[in-house]
Amino acid sequence: MNIPEELKYTKDHEWLKIEGDVCTIGITDFAQDHLTDVVFVELPEVGDRAEAGKTIATVESVKAVSDVFSPVTGEVVGVNEALPDEPEKVNEDPYGDGWMVKIKMENPAETEALLNAEEYEKHCESGD
């Protein structure tokens, strides 16, 4: 299981890369592995408002449909335009080409409650 040290994680299996007041969000390697083959990704529009704990995207696999929750509140300032046509990027490179949205955070302090790589690995192992 790939868990990059430099990222933050949620218990719902989203990852965040924080750069200033903008964070890039996607689903983790653990999540994509459990979903199996991703066949469809529904993303928000640039300019949409993201609310911490609310659905920001939807991922459909051959196995299930899953919501992707925003870990932060703010404005969507970028979406991965490639994913609607190439949803398999989520499986192939969840931390790179498979990113989903970029959000300009209103309250960067929201990220303080997120998990680091070690905490996320323990969370995955515990089966919570």
How confident is the model over 93-102, as pLDDT tens digits?
999 999 999 9
Domain residue limits at 97: 8-108
Domain assignment present for 123: no
What is the domain count for the chain? 1
CB 91, CB 120: distance < 8 Å:
no
The answer to whether residue 41 sits within a structural domain is yes
Strands (E), the chain: 8-9, 14-19, 22-27, 38-42, 49-50, 55-61, 65-69, 74-79, 101-105
CATH of the domain at 67: 2.40.50.100
> Does residue 66 lie within any of the structural domains?
yes
pTM for the structure as a whole: 0.93
Measuring CA to CA, which residue among 29, 33, 102 is closest to residue 63? 33
How confident is residue 10, by pLDDT bands cut at 50, 70 and 90? very high
